[in-house]
Amino acid sequence: MFVKKSISNGRIFLSFAQGYRIDGKVRHKTIEKIGYLDDLKKEYDDPISHFKELAKLKNNDEIKDFTIKNLNTKSIDSTSKAKNLGYVVLREIYKELDLDKFINEKNKNLKIKYNLNEIFSLLTFSRIMYPGSKKEAYEKRDRFFEKFNNFELKDIYRSLDYFNSYKEEIETLLWNKTKDSYNRKTDNLYYDCTNYYFEINYNDTDLVDEEGNILEKGYRKRGPEKNHRPDPIIEMGLLMDSTNFPIFYDLFPGNESEKLSLLPITRKVKKNCNLGRTVIVADRGLNTSDNIYFIAGNNHNSNLDGYIYGQSVRGADEEFKKWVLDQKDYISEHVKRDDGSPKTYRQMIFEDKVFKGYE
């Protein structure tokens, strides 16, 4: 609120006004009329300064009495403790991706007393804004403006089984909702693995039938942990597109080699996301003959995929070292980067195939 001066009948008229915007343009709304300046000077030494101070006091009073409305038809007053409103941006994206519709549709077919979408949205917003445990997300749920009070902590734990069963459907939904609107590109796909350790003493056991066939693998098992810890671990593989958006992830038992994880993830992504030709980019840990054979032609894709792998020359066999270090078939060309600086382009021909790279 501020003091507005206007001309009326050739005289200066004062009023309290409030500014606001419509389509980016500033507009003023008269809140209260004060009077003509020449009349006010008979009562006040400096009417403008006096009413400017009064406008500040009115602003302070309005802040104290301010009530936030129009968010799910709920309201809070200034006597309540601070609430987070910044997550409304995340909520709009959440709705844009149709996650609420998807989860609510699944909820219709379940005989449960709690709402899966309410839990899923709380966990999603908490993970982005306040990374922590599921328990912490529940215990501090009142920091959000919405009231997540229609479920208990045990309901969160129970809901995780449902969310896990929807995993691939959610990943496919996110892909379909973002591939065009966010201009996602899959000419190159980047894949890598990591692992998570658990401070437990024993490996998870596999579920087997009477004949000893594995029905369900245990995941937390001792394996090559990145920090050389002796604890059981779980492997995670993540596939990202050319615009650095994740497409798909999966978990694997900690005692399995990460080399075995690429094929199942690639198969799922090709099937669920209906991708065309791609180039898989990965480090040397994924460089195996089986992976190369699958990517380069045995993945049932009419447009053969490509691959870019890191390869250690020092640890390779003598034949490979000799081939790489032989300068005979290298061709150097000079090209320029986007900024105009020079870059050396090298091409090598091996068994009628052309290999290219930049120094």
The CATH code of the domain that includes 285 is 3.30.420
Within 10 angstroms of residue 154's Cβ, the number of other Cβ atoms is: 10
Expressed as residue numbers, the domain containing 359 is 313-359
Is residue 72 in some structural domain?
A: no
On whether both 301 and 256 belong to a single domain, the answer is yes
On whether both 228 and 292 belong to a single domain, the answer is yes
Is residue 79 in some structural domain?
A: no
E strands within the chain? 2-8, 11-22, 25-36, 68-71, 74-76, 188-197, 207-208, 214-216, 233-240, 246-253, 279-282, 306-309, 330-336, 342-350, 353-358
What pLDDT score does 68 carry? 43
On whether both 142 and 119 belong to a single domain, the answer is yes
Is residue 179 in some structural domain?
A: no
On whether both 48 and 92 belong to a single domain, the answer is no
Is-contact 47 92, C-beta < 8 A? no
Dihedral (Cα; 145, 147, 153, 158), 10-degree rounding: -100
- What value does the mean pLDDT take over residues 254-264? 88
- What value does the mean pLDDT take over residues 283-312? 74
Is residue 299 in some structural domain?
A: yes
Is-contact 347 355, C-beta < 8 A? yes
Q: How confident is the model at residue 168 (pLDDT cuts 50, 70, 90)?
A: very high
On whether both 332 and 214 belong to a single domain, the answer is no
Q: How confident is the model at residue 141 (pLDDT cuts 50, 70, 90)?
A: very high
- Which of 111, 130, 165 is the last residue in one of the domains? 165
On whether both 149 and 59 belong to a single domain, the answer is no
Is residue 214 in some structural domain?
A: yes
On whether both 349 and 282 belong to a single domain, the answer is no
Which residue pairs from 164-171 have beta carbons closer than 8 angstroms and sit at least 24 positions apart in sequence?
Answer: 166/102, 166/103, 166/106, 168/268, 168/272, 169/102, 170/99, 170/102, 171/247, 171/248, 171/249, 171/272
> Pick from 84, 269, 287: which is nearest to 179 by CA?
269
On whether both 26 and 55 belong to a single domain, the answer is yes
What pLDDT score does 259 carry? 87
Q: How confident is the model at residue 298 (pLDDT cuts 50, 70, 90)?
A: low
On whether both 331 and 304 belong to a single domain, the answer is no
Look up tokens 């006010």; give the residue: 40
User: Which residues, including other chains, have CB under 8 Å from residue 229's CB and lie 6 or more apart?
Assistant: 197
pLDDT at 101 over 50: yes
Minimum mean pLDDT range among 8-12, 193-197, 320-324, 329-333? 329-333
Paired residues of 45 in beta bridges: none
What pLDDT score does 23 carry? 65
Q: Is the pTM of this model over 0.85?
A: no
What is the tens place of the pLDDT at every residue in 300-311? 555 678 888 877
Is residue 171 in some structural domain?
A: no
Is residue 71 in some structural domain?
A: no
On whether both 206 and 272 belong to a single domain, the answer is yes
280 vs 343, higher pLDDT: 280
pLDDT at 67 over 50: no
> Pick from 214, 107, 176, 108: which is nearest to 121 by CA?
107
Is residue 234 in some structural domain?
A: yes
On whether both 342 and 271 belong to a single domain, the answer is no
- Which of 136, 165, 194 is the last residue in one of the domains? 165
On whether both 138 and 217 belong to a single domain, the answer is no
What's the rounded Cα separation, in Å, for the pair 180 and 171?
A: 15
Number of structural domains, the chain?
4
